[in-house]
Amino acid sequence: MATRLGDMAVGSTVKIKVNGTLMDFIIVQQGNPDSTIYDASCNGTWVLMNVLYILQKWDSRHPDYASADISDYLRNSFFNLLEPGCRSAIKSVKIPYVDNETVQYGANGLPVTVFLLSASEFGWTSSNVPIYKEGSRLSRFHDGMNSTRVARYKGSSRYYWTRSKARGYSDGVVTVTSDGGPEVKTLYANDVGVRPAFILPKEQLVSSNGTIIWNQPPEVTSDVGATGAELGEKNEPFTLPYTVTDGDGDPMTVTEKVNGVELAVRENVATGTELTVQCLSEKALFQQILNGKNTLTLEVDDGKTSTDWTATFTKNVTSAVLSLAQPLTADDTITVTALTLEGSFPADMSLTVELTNNALDEAPVWENCTDIQRGESRAFTHHAFANKTAARGFAFNYKVTITRGESGTGGTLTMIGGVIG
């Protein structure tokens, strides 16, 4: 029977694949060690590799952890050795660290995924070794026993790095000795081990043999290609089909965004569902997207992890047609009308106004308005209808067509009002 990771005791061991091989990790902390020092992101299950993964120097010249080679190795090379489910589950957290002789903590902590524990987290203070206070003692090390800190490399106990630079040293870093005590070593030492740590969500499930059951993140597939697809120029709403799947069968929430702005949301989407991007195919939503280069993001969340799929396109709409959604009905014959249009009208913009007084008929008679007086911000139209019949009763509507001129200067239409008689 599966156990919730957050319910397991500190000191318990779980198994995680590193470079394809199952390896033991020890639970060293449950929850945020100290909310006055650690960012809320650190509230999870802290795990520490049971053995040392490699031996390597800290750096050639940087005693500050944030810029050290060893920090880069953990967040890139080692992170990519972890199995995909683990990479998706690892929390992005902010941990206390020393930056130019000052400890940064809380929201100002160092953003990391995989990291080294600090000397403070191992339970030491400045009375043991010259250090800065980079956090609080983790539960695994509360008893102060050196044996809980000992780690082996290929069967032998070895020194390994913490992330703590030694106070008062230009090139000193605190290490854990082969018997579990603290000692300062030069950052150039290449015979010191690396013992990775990271934080996982407490909700993660663990099988009876200690293997973590990873959530499979949602996937997005589309005929237009993988994430980052270029869709070209678009001058009208268009159809973009895609399919969402979840290997665990979890229901998903799909959010459509353009340039980071949320335009449509679908909830409780089943795995294997074929969808069409609403904000691109529906006229009202497409109109909200500005001309120019745009980025579409499909964010798919199964409640545990999320996946983003993106595509770019260039919107280039140079004309628009506007009408009333519902014609205006009248009790008597509509013989004349006058409209006022407000906005910004470039000199070379084309403006066409068509009018009908039998809009409810199966084939309305559209009459072109020739009496248009236009300025930079207003246009006025007057029209007397030639049509005198309406099979389904007299009803008024308009079709206003605006088209950008050769200059390419954009305009706006903010209001259409008027009277009929």
> What confidence score (pLDDT) does residue 290 get?
86
CB burial of 194-228 (b: ≥16 within 10 Å; e: otherwise) equals bbbbbbbbeebebeeebebebbbbbebebeeeeee
**Alpha carbon distance 315, 293 (integer Å):** 7
Contact between 165 and 172 under an 8 Å Cβ cutoff? The reply is yes
Closest CA to 324 of 303, 339, 307, 342: 339
For residue range 205-250, what is the model confidence (pLDDT) as tens digits?
Answer: 899 999 998 888 899 999 999 999 999 999 889 999 999 999 889 9
Closest CA to 53 of 77, 31, 27, 85: 77
Is residue 301 classed as helix, strand or coil in its secondary structure? strand
Closest CA to 66 of 114, 99, 102: 99
DSSP state, 216? P
Provide the phi-psi class of 303: left if phi over 0, else alpha when psi is between -120 and 50, else beta: left
Decide the pairing of beta strands 306-315 and 229-234.
Answer: parallel
Architecture per CATH, 319-420: Sandwich (2.60)
Q: Write the CB contacts of 238 (distance below 8 Å, at least 6 apart in sequence).
A: 280, 281
- Assigned token pair, 171: 């090139």
> What confidence score (pLDDT) does residue 410 get?
79
Residues 315, 321, 324, 326: what is their CA dihedral angle, to the nearest 10 degrees?
-80
pLDDT by position in tens, the chain (length 421):
789 999 999 999 999 999 999 999 999 999 999 999 999 999 999 999 999 999 999 998 878 899 999 999 999 999 999 998 899 899 999 999 999 889 999 999 999 999 999 999 999 998 889 999 999 999 999 877 899 999 999 999 999 999 999 998 989 999 999 999 999 999 999 999 999 999 999 989 899 999 998 888 899 999 999 999 999 999 889 999 999 999 889 999 999 999 999 999 999 999 999 999 998 988 888 888 888 999 999 999 998 788 999 999 999 888 888 899 999 999 999 999 999 999 998 988 899 999 999 999 999 999 999 888 988 899 999 999 999 999 999 999 999 999 888 888 878 888 999 999 8
CB burial of 256-267 (b: ≥16 within 10 Å; e: otherwise) equals bbbeeeebeeee
Q: Write the CB contacts of 381 (distance below 8 Å, at least 6 apart in sequence).
A: 337, 338, 339, 341, 353, 369, 371, 372, 373, 418
Q: Map out the domains of the chain as residue ranges.
A: 3-213, 219-315, 319-420
Residues 281, 287, 292, 298: what is their CA dihedral angle, to the nearest 10 degrees?
-40
**Alpha carbon distance 199, 113 (integer Å):** 8
Amino acid at 124: W
Contact between 92 and 113 under an 8 Å Cβ cutoff? The reply is yes
> What confidence score (pLDDT) does residue 147 get?
92
The CATH number of 219-315 is 2.60.40.10
Same fold, 219-315 and 319-420: yes
Unique residue bearing structure tokens 């390597």: 56
Is residue 226 classed as helix, strand or coil in its secondary structure? coil
Apex 376 CA angle, 372 and 380, nearest 5: 25
Provide the phi-psi class of 249: left if phi over 0, else alpha when psi is between -120 and 50, else beta: left
Closest CA to 352 of 326, 336, 372: 372
CA-based end-to-end distance of the chain: 79
- The DSSP secondary structure of 338-380, one letter per residue, reads EEEEEEE--TT-EEEEEEESBTTSSS---EE--EEEE-SSEEE
Please count the other Cβ atoms lying within 10 Å of the Cβ belonging to residue 411. Answer: 18
